[in-house]
Amino acid sequence: MTSGAVDPIIEVQGVVRAFGDVRALDGVDLVVEPGIVYALLGPNGAGKTTLIRVLATLLRPDRGSVRVAGVDVVADPNAARARIGLAGQFAAVDAFLTGRENVEMVGRLYGLSARDARRRADDVLERIGLTRDAGRQVGTYSGGMRRRLDLAASLVGRPQVMFLDEPTTGIDPRTRLELWDLIEDLVAAGTSVLLTTQYLDEADRLAARIGVIDRGVVVQEGTADELKDAVGGSVLELVVPDEDRVTAVETISSATGEEVAELGGRRLRVAAREGSRTLLEVVRALDAAGVEADDIGLHRPSLDDVFLAVTGEPAGSDLEADRELADPAAATAGSGGRGRGRRR
Amino acid sequence: MSTTTEPARLPTPDRALRERATFASTVGDTWVLTKRNLLRNVRLPQVLLFSTVQPIMFLLLFTYVFGGAIGQALPPVAEGEYINWLMPGLLVQISVFGAGQTAIGLTDDLSKGVIDRFRSLPMARSAVLAGRTFADLGRNSAVVTLMMLVGFLIGFRYQTSFLRFLAGVALGLAFAYSLSWVMAVIGLYVKDPEAAQSAVFLPVFPLVFASSVFLPTETMPDWLRVFADNQPITTVTNALRALMLGEGALREGQVLSSQLLISLGWIVSITLVFSLLAIRAYRRAVD
């Protein structure tokens, strides 16, 4: 897949990285054009974090080639580091330094002179709205402020690409919206962003393109719309009384010939290849079986459906805990299933 | 199949940034991180408290609890004052304990993702470990100075010259620096800050007690004495004592020059071997 005449900002080919017997990355190909948000979507332990670590020069791939901003990451990691910014799953800022000191320090480590580092730190703090609090020790900051500061620290090097590993995992909804705005501003200012997420709404809102990653491979790739189209047709979602659930699943599946997904609670979902005709068939069949649905609706597929169709499991599920344990890079995330309850 | 039509181009690299580490930039990065690590000691009250109160507590407890009974059993150079005997030993003990902070600081940075951030920056890689060990040397110097001041207040007097006394302090700090590298290796293997606490102090306690830090080794059972006499903590303590109290502090047959030489040998070889191991462990810990 080519992106026309534009040089890609990220170019990954056949990247393999194993931890012991587990292949965290099993032949990843990825091309990202500059100036957009690209979202890597996948369950825990799918290899998202490992891929970010490879791209950010923290991990050498066993095989394959990785180019970021035109630089071969494996052959010339330091040149790549001068062009990238990384914000990991933790806010890697020092609680005992002030906000400004944190940003300035990272600026110095990017190779800026003390004067440049100070000037850029002021700019960046202004941009993320932390000027007023810049003189306070970070220990007194809220979680959301720390995340923003963490992002700001990388921005001081004016990176061409920002890697954000689950930037909004474990933070409150308001801060999440703030971070989304910040990321959109970043891209508007010309930075390319690659982020990983377990949240489909996040990918839907931010990303121009989405790659679904599962078991160390990018299994599907495209815009949100393309992905949704790929699932095909519409989906039918139902809420049924708990005592009728088993009957409902059998009835629907024999009426449509499709597999019925149980989404937890009393919610069921099934592909509706023929749209409203499928809806009618299901309603009739349920009626005949004596099941009365509490709610029933026909939707255009959401990213959730894409995710389900592609990876065979609902987003944010915990089924991957074993694989996560086997992947030390992902295991440190410790976020096990924070995606729960966000399936909608 | 390009779907975005925005004018996309690769921005030119930022010229203010560097892509190659030079000697000057390595020194600069090391200084930036040394300063950062030192600030941690000053600004986190619990760290400051632990590293200053603990040595003084040791000093006062040993002096006043054991001092009276032990004073009688010491060589004449101590002038019957346990504090004179204890002070050089305690300096070594504090240095050894202080070096443990290297492991704890490193594991702290590892677990908080700070090391990942450093590694994603175009900085000198060696600066992370160098900045850590230098900062710990700085902290140790401050703690030792403080402890010496309290020691003087409660009656410690060196029996040689001020210069020899200073040489003794310097030797203790150099030993501490070499041990920082040992602790760095431990920290990088253990990775977890809480586990690092016990992983550090488990070997340190027996090593410090089975030495001449608190008492002459003569009364130990043979098997223990042979070990105690030949381990680096004893050698360094002996050299330190001879520097501060005179050669009368040494056992029959021992002289300052040889104790000093062996100590320096320990310090140099520990630093060399363990800095190499630490660099290897660092690569491994983060990969």
Sketch the domain layout of chain B as residue ranges. 25-286
Q: Inter-chain contact B28–A108, Cβ cutoff 8 Å? A: yes
- pLDDT above 60: residue B7: no
CA distance B84 to B148: 11
The pTM of the whole model exceeds 0.90: no
Mutate to test the interface with A, among B1, B5, B121 (most CBs of A within 10 A): B121
Would you say residue B14 has pLDDT above 50?
Answer: yes
Give the contacts of B181 (CB within 8 A, at least 6 positions apart). Answer: B102, B133, B270, B271, B274, B275, B277, B278
| Nearest-angstrom CA–CA distance, A194 and A207 | 9
The residue among B1 and B271 whose pLDDT is bigger is B271
Tell whether B44 lies on the interface with A, counting CB pairs under 8 A: yes
Which pLDDT tens digit goes with each residue over B44-91?
877 778 778 888 998 999 889 888 888 777 888 888 788 998 999 999
The answer to whether the beta carbons of residues A302 and A23 sit under 8 Å apart is: no
Task: Read off the amino acid at residue B243.
Answer: L
pLDDT at residue A2 greater than cutoff 50: no
Residue count (chain A): 344
**ipTM of the complex as predicted:** 0.84
Identify the band that residue A15 occupies on the pLDDT scale cut at 50, 70 and 90. Answer: very high
Q: How far is CA B258 from the centre of its chain?
A: 23
pLDDT of residue A124: 92
Answer whether A60's CB lies under 8 Å from A329's CB: no
**pLDDT higher than threshold 60 for residue B124:** yes
CATH architecture of A10-83+159-228: 3-Layer(aba) Sandwich (3.40)
The per-residue pLDDT for range A27-65, each reduced to its tens digit, is 999 999 999 999 998 888 889 999 999 999 999 999 999
Yes or no, beta carbons of A137 and B14 under 8 Å apart: no
A118 compared with A307, residue with greater pLDDT: A118
**CA atoms of B256 and B247, how far apart (whole Å):** 6
| Interface check A109 vs B, CB under 8 A | yes
How confident is the model at residue B154, as a pLDDT?
A: 92
The class of domain A233-300 in CATH terms is: alpha beta
The more confident residue out of A154 and A68 is A68
The stretch A137-152 carries a mean pLDDT of 90
A105 — contact with chain B (CB < 8 Å)? Answer: yes
Contact present, A108 and A117 (Cβ < 8 Å) = yes
Integer Cα distance of A10 and B158 in angstroms: 66
User: Is residue B36 pLDDT above 80, yes or no?
Assistant: yes
Query: Per residue in A208-238, pLDDT tens?
Result: 999 999 889 998 899 888 887 776 667 888 8
Do B117 and A153 lie within an 8 Å CB cutoff?
A: yes
User: Which of A180-194, B9-23, B182-196, B235-249 is predicted with the least confidence, judged by mean pLDDT?
Assistant: B9-23
CA atoms A284, A289, A293, A298: torsion sign: negative
How confident is the model at residue B140, as a pLDDT?
92
Instruction: Give residue for tokens 């393309």.
Output: A226
Interface of A with B in 182-241 (CB under 8 A): 190, 208-209, 223, 226
Sign of CA dihedral A174, A176, A180, A181: positive
Mean pLDDT of B35-45: 89
B21–A36 C-beta distance less than 8 A: no
The pLDDT, as a whole number, for residue A320 is 37
Say if residue B263's pLDDT is above 50: yes
Q: List, by residue range, all CATH 3.30.70.980 domains of chain A.
A: 233-300
Buried b (16+ CB within 10 A) or exposed e, A25-64: beebebbbbbbbbbbbbbbbbbbbbbbbbbbbbbbebeeb
Burial class of residue B45 (count of CB atoms within 10 Å of its CB; 0-12, 13-18, 19+)? exposed
Closest CA to A195 of A224, A217, A219, A166: A166
The pLDDT assigned to A91 comes to: 82
A303 has a pLDDT exceeding 80: no
d(CA A79, CA A261): 48
Taking the Cβ of residue B20 and every Cβ of chain A, the question of whether any pair is shorter than 8 Å is answered with yes
Distance CA A30, CA A161 (A): 15
CATH 3.40.50.300 domain residues, chain A = 10-83+159-228
Whether the per-residue pLDDT at B269 is higher than 70: the answer is yes
Residue A271 parent element (H or E): strand A267-272
Query: Is A85 strand, coil or helix?
Result: strand
For an interface test with B, the pick among A109, A160, A187 (most B C-beta atoms closer than 10 Å) comes out as A109
Q: Give pLDDT, residue A90.
A: 79
